[in-house]
Amino acid sequence: MNINKMIRAEIFGIISGILLTLVFTAFSAAVMVKMQKVMYPAIAPFAIASICIGGFVGGYITARINKNMGMAVGAICGLAVFLIFLGTGAIFGSKLGIVSLIRGIAAVIAGALGGVLGVNKRKRRK
């Protein structure tokens, strides 16, 4: 196993996961603005869905590049995406709580699932 390839795969997957999380979060915010009513109970599920989508896609991309150890590299990617958003939130004064723990667990599980699917994806034959 080439450690440089694994690190490059993780970096690319993490960046992809972060970007997709930001896009989905912006889309969710735009939907709420368009409705002209902020549904506060819906914010936490949208946040969890955003981090799960980012973790899943990041894990999938990481595993596709790495081509082995899908669950491990996917889980690491999901955790990294979560920790980056957690750190960013902490900088801006976000409180840590049980919802943060749930988001973290969900991101790791989604990343691991994406990693498993990424490794098991077969290439198309032409």
pLDDT digits (tens, 9 = 90+) for 53-76: 999 999 999 999 998 888 999 999
pLDDT digits (tens, 9 = 90+) for 81-122: 999 999 998 888 888 888 888 999 999 999 999 999 999 876
Q: Residue 28 pLDDT more than 90?
A: no
For residues 101 and 104, give the distance between their C-alpha atoms in angstroms, rounded to a whole number.
Answer: 5
Backbone φ/ψ region at 12: left (φ over 0), alpha (ψ -120 to 50), beta: alpha
CB 100 within 8 A of CB 86: yes
**Is 0.75 topped by the overall pTM?**
yes
